[in-house]
Structure 1
């Protein structure tokens, strides 16, 4: 059985931008979830201090303690990422650093994780997702290979209110969350 709450998925957006297309994907996954899992959104990525091994001890900053607790308790993670310089944003990498190092080390090992991303460009954050897959593989996370959700030209698929309006994108998100829920049941 997966660590923590059997059906709860913790969702993280790697984007800090207020009108983020990636956060819109996260919210669409919650809103249009088939009900096979409960999705909780982690909203404090911007509050995490930058990783510093000097501060990574038995009494880390409270924001780090809370992130580690929520990740440990979640049955799986759903991470959406924009693409920054052909990789993941620094804020997302920072969160992964805090959750993968000692003394927290091990909370991501074997953790089922689904990833997705959006970009206004033609490749839909595919290079950022590739970098994220490499990071998660090195940590030992259980990253789903399929379905891949790389939303290209996302500005055409998200309205001014931040709602995903494209039926294909919503269908792919549902398939991804359902696949993650199924993987969680197998762990």
Structure 2
């Protein structure tokens, strides 16, 4: 997947642009593979853009959220502003949201009441160990983003138990691939 200098997946600007936020920093994570699958199977006219720099964001601190804010924050907010919708793909860490994703939520929630994702549709999916596939983290992520400003589409859910993939890439699981494509299509349909 080609990326530009901001770590974004390059695509034609026509159509619907969906920002993808990945809650895992690990190069070989199942959730990164879900991102790959979502990009590969995006409906015609839908461009999924992975912002792959969450690990570069400083911890949110209102003292540094000013005109000299760190460049990765500027890039994240710009990517969010340019997006029509957001797809969050995340694992579950210790029963909750990975810290890197929670930090991104905090940056995107500012300025309070007028963040870059305000009123834009957002869906949360992902995979994790355990029989529920990360449902706690996904629910917590929906809750946190719901407070932060986007319009969370509550009925778009996919929590994949990693053992159900039998060690294979999610693209080899027809049900997961179809469900993810359906979620992306329904998310895009929410763009108004």
TM-score, normalised on structure 1? 0.89
Quote the Cα distance in structure 2 between the aligned partners of 1:111 and 1:122.
31
2:9 matched to which residue of 1? none
> For the Cα contact (< 8 Å) 2:142–2:154, is it kept in 1?
no
Q: Mapping of 1:130-149 within 5 angstroms?
A: 130-149=139-158
Post-superposition offset of 1:23: 1.0
> For the Cα contact (< 8 Å) 2:109–2:149, is it kept in 1?
no
1:181 matched to which residue of 2? 188
> For the Cα contact (< 8 Å) 1:88–1:132, is it kept in 2?
yes
* Distance change >3 Å, CA 101–CA 157, structure 1 → 2: farther
Quote the Cα distance in structure 1 between the aligned partners of 2:166 and 2:85.
27
Quote the Cα distance in structure 2 between the aligned partners of 1:141 and 1:36.
22
Quote the Cα distance in structure 2 between the aligned partners of 1:167 and 1:157.
13
1:82 matched to which residue of 2? 91
Runs of 4+ in 1 over 4 A off after TM superposition: none
Quote the Cα distance in structure 1 between the aligned partners of 2:163 and 2:140.
20
1:39 equivalenced with 2:48 (yes/no)? yes
Unaligned runs of 5+ in 2: 1-12
Post-superposition offset of 1:107: 1.7
Unaligned runs of 5+ in 1: none
1:151 equivalenced with 2:160 (yes/no)? yes
Post-superposition offset of 1:179: 0.3
The DSSP-based 3-state class of the residue aligned with 1:51 is coil
Quote the Cα distance in structure 1 between the aligned partners of 2:72 and 2:143.
25
1:94 matched to which residue of 2? 103
Quote the Cα distance in structure 2 between the aligned partners of 1:146 and 1:34.
19
Q: 1:112 pairs with 109, 112, 121, which one?
A: 121
Q: 1:72 pairs with 75, 78, 81, which one?
A: 81
> For the Cα contact (< 8 Å) 1:125–1:151, is it kept in 2?
yes
Q: Report Cα offsets for 1:93-122 as digits up to 9, x if no partner.
A: 111111112279432221111110101311
Quote the Cα distance in structure 2 between the aligned partners of 1:183 and 1:67.
22
1:169 equivalenced with 2:176 (yes/no)? yes
TM-score, normalised on structure 2? 0.86
The DSSP-based 3-state class of the residue aligned with 1:149 is strand
The DSSP-based 3-state class of the residue aligned with 2:78 is helix
Quote the Cα distance in structure 2 between the aligned partners of 1:5 and 1:134.
31
**Number of positions where the alignment pairs a residue of Structure 1 with one of Structure 2:** 180
Cα RMSD (Å) of the superposition?
2.0
> For the Cα contact (< 8 Å) 2:113–2:149, is it kept in 1?
no
